[in-house]
Structure 1
Amino acid sequence: MQVALVGLGVMGKNLALNLIEKGLNLVAYDKNPDAGEDLLSLAKKEGFAERLHIVSDLSDMVRRLETPRSILLLVPAGELVDKVCSELIEAGVDINDIIVDCGNSNYKDGIARKLKYQNKFEFATMGISGGAEGARHGPAMMASGSEGGWERIIPFFEKVAASHNGESCFARVGQSASGHFVKMVHNGIEYALMQLIAEVYHLLRLGCGKSNDEIAALFDTWSEGELNSYLLSISSHILKLNSSDNTPIVDLIDNKVGAKGTGLWTAQNALELGIAVPSLVAAVQARHLTNTQDTHAALEMTYAAKQPAKVDIDLEELRKAFHLASLLCYRQGLALIKGASRSHQWKVDLAKTLQTWRAGCIIRADYLDQIAEGNGFIDGLNDEVIALRNIAADAVRSGLAFPVLAATQTYYATLTTPSNGHLVQAQRDYFGEHGIKTHEGETCHLTDLTHIDAKVR
Structure 2
Amino acid sequence: MLMTQQADIGLIGLAVMGQNLVLNMTDHGFKVAVYNRSREKTDEFLAAEPDNENLLGCFSIEELISSLAAPRKIMLMVKAGEVVDLFIEQLLPYLDEGDIIIDGGNSLYTDSQRRTDYLAEKGIQFIGTGVSGGEEGARYGPSIMPGGNVAAWASVKPIFQAIAAKADDAPCCDWVGDGGAGHYVKMVHNGIEYGDMQLIAESYHLMRYGLGLSADECQTVFAEWNTGLLDSYLIEITAEILKFKDEDGAPLVDKILDAAGQKGTGKWTGISSLELGIPVTLITESVYSRCLSALKDERIKAQAHFGEIPPTPAMSEQEKAEMLQAIHDALYASKIISYAQGYMLMREAAKEFSWQLNYGGIALMWRGGCIIRSTFLGEIKNAYEANPELSNLLLADFFSNALQKSAANWRKAVIFAIQRQIPTPALSSALTFFDGYKSATLPANMIQAQRDYFGAHTYERIDAPRGTFFHTDWIQSGGRVSSTTYEV
Same fold (TM over 0.5): yes
Instruction: Give the conservation status (yes or no) of the 8 Å contact 1:28–1:55.
Output: yes
Query: Which residue of structure 1 aligns with residue 243 of structure 2?
Result: 240
Superposed displacement of residue 429, structure 1: 2.0
Aligned to 1:329: 338
Q: Say if 1:69 and 1:97, in contact at 8 Å, map to a contact too.
A: yes
Within the alignment, does 1:439 sit opposite 2:465 as a pair? no
Tell me which residue corresponds to 2:115: 113
The residue that corresponds to 2:200 in the other structure is: 197
Cα distance between partner residues in 2 of 1:363 and 1:303: 39
Amino acid in the other structure paired with 2:400: D
What is the alpha-carbon distance in structure 1 between the residues aligned to residue 265 and residue 278 of structure 2? 17
SS of aligned partner of 1:431: helix
Change beyond 3 A, Cα 1:37–1:302: farther
Matches within 5 A, 1:47-446: 47=51, 49-90=52-93, 92-120=94-122, 121-292=124-295, 304-308=306-310, 310=312, 314-372=323-381, 373=383, 374-375=393-394, 376=396, 377-381=398-402, 382-417=404-439, 418-441=441-464, 442-446=468-472
Q: Residue type of the partner of 1:153?
A: V
Unaligned runs of 5+ in 1: none
| 3-state SS, counterpart of residue 306 of structure 2 | coil
Report the equivalent of 1:5. Answer: 11
Which segment drifts farther, 322-331 or 113-122? 113-122
Tell me how far 1:178 sits from its aligned partner.
Answer: 0.7
CA distance in structure 2 between the partners assigned to 1:368 and 1:113 by the alignment: 31
Is the alpha carbon distance of 1:78 and 1:378 closer, same or farther for their aligned partners in structure 2, counting shifts above 3 Å? same
Question: What residue identity is the alignment partner of 1:445?
Answer: H
Aligned CA distance change for structure 1 residues 438 and 3 (closer, same or farther; 3 Å): same
Letter in 2 for 1:260: K
Identity of aligned residues (%): 34
| Alpha-carbon distance in structure 2 between the residues aligned to 1:337 and 1:257 | 26
Check 1:262–1:301 CA distance in 2 against 1; reply closer, same or farther (3 A cut). Answer: farther
Q: CA deviation at 1:156?
A: 2.1
8 Å CA contact 2:147–2:178 kept in 1: the answer is yes
Q: Secondary structure at the match of 2:49?
A: helix
Q: Are the aligned partners of 2:367 and 2:378 in contact in 1 as well (CA < 8 Å)? A: no
Q: What does residue 21 of structure 2 align with?
A: 15
Shift of 1:299: 9.2
* Contact 1:5-1:26 at 8 Å conserved across structures: yes
Measured against aligned partners, the alpha-carbon deviations of 1:61-82 in whole angstroms (never above 9, x if no partner) come to 1111121111111010111111
Whether the 8 Å CA contact 2:21–2:138 is kept in 1: the answer is yes
Contact kept in structure 1, 2:13 and 2:78, CA below 8 Å: yes
Q: How many Å separate the matches in 2 of 1:28 and 1:183?
A: 25
TM-score by length of 2: 0.88
d(CA) in 2 for partners of 1:189 and 1:111? 22
Cα gap change, 1:61 to 1:411, in 2 (>3 Å) = same
Instruction: Name the aligned partner's letter for residue 439 of structure 1.
Output: I
- Rate the CA distance shift 1:135–1:390 in 2: closer, same or farther, 3 A: same
Pick from 38, 41, 45 the counterpart of residue 44 of structure 2.
38
Higher relative contact order (CA 8 A, sep 6+): 1
Work out the number of aligned pairs and report it. Answer: 449
Deviations 1:134-185 (A, max 9, x none): 0000000000123211102202211100001100001111111111111111
Whole-Å Cα distance in 2 between the matches of residues 4 and 96 of structure 1? 15
2:285 and 2:429 in contact (8 A); partners too: yes
Q: Distance in 1 between matches of 2:96 and 2:278?
A: 39
CA distance in 2, matches of 1:214, 1:342: 47
Aligned partner of 1:94: which letter?
D
TM-score, normalised to structure 1's length? 0.93
Q: CA deviation at 1:88?
A: 0.5
CA shift at 1:95, angstroms? Answer: 2.1
Q: Secondary structure at the match of 1:170?
A: coil
- Return 5+ residue gaps in structure 2 as ranges: 1-6, 314-318, 384-392, 481-488
Whether the 8 Å contact between 1:208 and 1:310 is mirrored in structure 2 is: yes
